[in-house]
């Protein structure tokens, strides 16, 4: 029972941390290597919110707005000129991530910051004591996933985004303002990354480099999902399960490299990864 809950909540946390990267990769066709920095920005929004004496949960919308606003600026000034040069975009976003990490270091110092716990304690569930917060994280992942699905399937923006994903030249020919779609998508992706940062604070330590580890996991997951968010959910579930089961039955040391190894193997066998499923 404990294992099933561990698998579900681990998958949920992976999903929350990689959905922002997936959104940007899907529409813009670039990997935002500053994704980890935006996760860090979100976590520091929680630090700032705590310093201002706000309710810890208020950090979540705050982080989304701050992340999206900074994402908008980054898109305008850094990403936009590089759409036709995806390799340069990797360099630019990776560099941007380093710059943001250093700016955070300058502002807050290198040390670990402490944030108030969003939801302490454990609850009884199906006969086991389980961390209340991890269950909330599971709920948050479902809500974010549903909202994302609704945006893609049920809104004008989602329709335009899907058109851009399928054939950008044709979409532009049909009068869709593709530049605006890219701009808004980048903002949403950055906002989601920051939101993930807040949701990580009860589980992770908040420091200027905290995002890097999550970026690597998210990158692997997005690579095997090939821009499909249902595939991402499936990949999170499978890889999360692998991580938990290997940690439980073999060794946590192998468990922590499970995602990277499995992603490589998956792409070797099936270049489209989970997106065919």
**190, containing H or E segment:** helix 178-200
Distance CA 217, CA 220 (A): 5
Q: Shortest approach of other proteins to residue 144 CB, angstroms?
A: 19
Residue 170 binds other proteins (CB under 8 A): no
- Are 176 and 160 within 8 A, CB to CB? yes
Q: Residue 2 in 3-state DSSP?
A: helix
Answer for which of 172, 247, 261, 272 binds other proteins (CB under 8 A) is 247
Q: Which residues, 109 to 138, sit near other proteins by CB under 8 A?
A: 109-112, 114, 116-117, 120-122, 128-134
Task: Count the Cβ atoms, other than its own, within 10 Å of residue 175.
Answer: 7
Q: How far is the CB of 147 from other proteins (least distance, A)?
A: 25
For 30-48, b/e burial (b = at least 16 CB within 10 A) is: bbbbbbbbbbbbbbbbbbb
- Please list the residues that pair with 130 across neighbouring strands: 123
Q: Report the helix count and the strand count for the chain, using DSSP H and E.
A: 12, 2
Residues 12-41 that bind other proteins (CB under 8 A): 13
Which residue in the set 252, 265, 270, 277 belongs to the binding site for other proteins (CB under 8 A)? 252
6 binds other proteins (CB under 8 A): yes
Candidates 2-10, 34-42, 151-159, 178-186; binding stretch for other proteins (CB under 8 A) = 2-10
Sites of contact with other proteins (CB under 8 A): 2-3, 6, 9-10, 13, 105, 109-112, 114, 116-117, 120-122, 128-134, 202-205, 207-210, 213, 243-244, 247-248, 251-253, 255-256
């Amino acid at each position: 029972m404990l294992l099933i809950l561990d698998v579900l909540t681990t998958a949920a946390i992976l999903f929350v941390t990689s959905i922002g990267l997936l959104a940007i990769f899907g529409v813009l066709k670039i990997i935002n290597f500053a994704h980890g920095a935006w996760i860090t920005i979100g976590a520091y929004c929680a630090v700032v919110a705590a310093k201002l004496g706000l309710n810890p949960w208020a950090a979540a919308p705050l982080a989304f707005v701050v992340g999206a606003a900074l994402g908008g600026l980054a898109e305008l000034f850094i990403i936009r000129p590089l759409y036709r040069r995806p390799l340069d975009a990797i360099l630019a976003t990776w560099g941007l991530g380093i710059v943001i990490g250093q700016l955070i270091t300058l502002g807050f110092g290198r040390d670990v910051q402490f944030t108030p716990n969003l939801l302490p304690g454990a609850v009884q569930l199906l006969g086991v004591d389980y961390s209340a917060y991890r269950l909330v994280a599971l709920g948050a992942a479902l809500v974010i996933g549903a909202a994302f699905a609704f945006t893609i399937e049920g809104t004008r923006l989602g329709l335009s985004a899907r058109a851009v994903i399928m054939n950008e030249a044709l979409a532009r020919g049909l009068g869709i303002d593709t530049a605006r779609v890219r701009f808004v998508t980048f903002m949403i992706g950055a906002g989601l990354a920051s939101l993930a940062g807040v949701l990580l604070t009860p589980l992770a330590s908040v420091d200027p480099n905290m995002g890097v580890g999550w970026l690597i996991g998210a990158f692997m997951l997005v690579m095997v999902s090939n821009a499909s968010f249902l595939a991402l959910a499936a990949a999170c579930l499978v890889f999360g399960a692998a991580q938990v089961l290997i940690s439980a039955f073999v060794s946590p040391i192998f468990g922590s490299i499970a995602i990277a190894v499995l992603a490589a193997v998956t792409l070797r066998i099936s270049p489209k990864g989970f997106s065919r499923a």
